[in-house]
């Protein structure tokens, strides 16, 4: 456990939030929470049964439509420790579903303890949002504050899902750079 005296890099946080809100203007506070939560905790919270993870990836690949997005990957959150690898990289034949699955599973095992507690980080995120977009997500704040206390994940908002059709897996940055990025960027 870390000390609450540790601080989040406010400038880096501001830049990451501005990037998130510029790239995804339909984002709600839930979507901001989700992006930074994913970057903080990685994919570990999504993996309880490897077979179920594999089956869900296969299901999602079979049912995602032409709207799988325009990106193959992007760094998320503040520290850049994780990358969202979009299923478009699989549907376009750049990587296989098995390669993505392996990187996703390996990323859960590679997770290291973040330098700041999630609740401390979330409070800094909300404080910075107040500076750049006063009142943003006012109706969501109490529920997300409670989620942050419990280290709970949340889903993307309906607005985000409708606008962006997010289909991706979270991969540790180092694993991504070594295993997937060379294949995607070739």
Burial of 19 (0-12, 13-18, 19+ CB in 10 A): middle
Is residue 1 a part of any domain in this protein? no
Q: Quote the CA–CA distance of 160 and 26 in Å, as a whole number.
A: 6
Q: How confident is the model at residue 5 (pLDDT cuts 50, 70, 90)?
A: very low
What does the pLDDT read at residue 109? 82
* Mean pLDDT, residues 82-93 taken together: 94
When divided into structural domains, the chain yields a total of: 1
Q: Read off the DSSP letter of residue 56.
A: H
Task: Give the 3-state secondary structure of residue 86.
Answer: strand
- Per-residue tokens: 120: 């401390």
- Is there a domain that residue 70 lies in? yes
CA distance 155 to 135: 21
Read off the pLDDT of residues 102-146 as tens digits, 9 standing for 90 and up: 999 999 888 777 768 999 999 999 999 999 999 999 999 999 999
Residue 91 has pLDDT above 70, yes or no: yes
What is the rounded CA–CA span in Å between residue 12 and residue 146? 25
Most confident of the ranges 6-10, 41-45, 149-153: 149-153
pLDDT band at 46 (very low <50, low <70, confident <90, very high): low
With respect to residue 172, please indicate whether it lies within any of the assigned structural domains.
yes
Residue 4 is assigned to a structural domain of this protein: no
- Whether residue 144 is contained in a domain is answered as yes
pLDDT exceeds cutoff 90 at 68: no
Is 149 a member of any domain? yes
Query: pLDDT by residue (tens digit) across 139-167?
Result: 999 999 999 999 999 999 999 999 998 99
Indicate if the alpha-carbon torsion angle 112, 113, 115, 118 is positive or negative.
positive
In a 10 Å sphere around its CB, with 0-12 CB exposed, 13-18 middle and 19+ buried, how is residue 172 labelled?
A: buried
Does some domain include residue 3?
no
Extract long-range pairs of 143-147: CB within 8 Å, 24+ residues apart: 144/29, 144/30, 144/33, 147/33
pTM of the model: 0.88
Q: Is residue 104 part of a domain?
A: yes
Give the three-state DSSP class for 87. coil
Cβ proximity of 129 and 32 under 8 Å: yes
User: Considering Cα of 56, then 62, then 88, then 164, what sign does the dihedral take?
Assistant: negative
Res. 80 pLDDT band, cuts 50 70 90: confident
The Cα–Cα gap between 185 and 85 comes to 12
Q: Looking at residue 4, what is its pLDDT? A: 42
pLDDT of residue 65: 67
Q: Which domain holds residue 86?
A: 10-184
């Amino acid at each position: 456990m870390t000390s609450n005296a540790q601080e989040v890099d406010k400038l880096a946080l501001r830049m990451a939030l501005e990037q998130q809100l510029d790239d995804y203007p339909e984002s709600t506070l839930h979507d901001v929470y989700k992006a930074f939560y994913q970057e903080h905790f990685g994919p570990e919270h999504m993996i309880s049964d490897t077979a179920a993870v594999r089956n869900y990836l296969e299901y999602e690949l079979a049912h995602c439509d032409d709207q799988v997005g325009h990106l193959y990957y992007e760094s998320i959150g503040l520290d850049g420790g994780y990358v969202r690898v979009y299923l478009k990289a699989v549907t376009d034949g750049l990587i296989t579903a098995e390669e993505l699955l392996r990187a996703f599973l390996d990323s859960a095992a590679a997770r290291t303890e973040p330098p700041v507690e999630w609740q401390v980080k979330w409070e800094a995120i909300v404080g910075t949002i107040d500076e750049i977009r006063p009142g943003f997500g006012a109706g969501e704040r109490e529920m997300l504050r409670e989620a942050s206390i419990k280290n709970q994940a949340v889903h993307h908002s309906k607005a985000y899902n409708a606008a962006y059709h997010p289909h991706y897996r979270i991969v540790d940055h180092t694993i991504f750079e070594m295993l997937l990025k060379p294949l995607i960027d070739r």
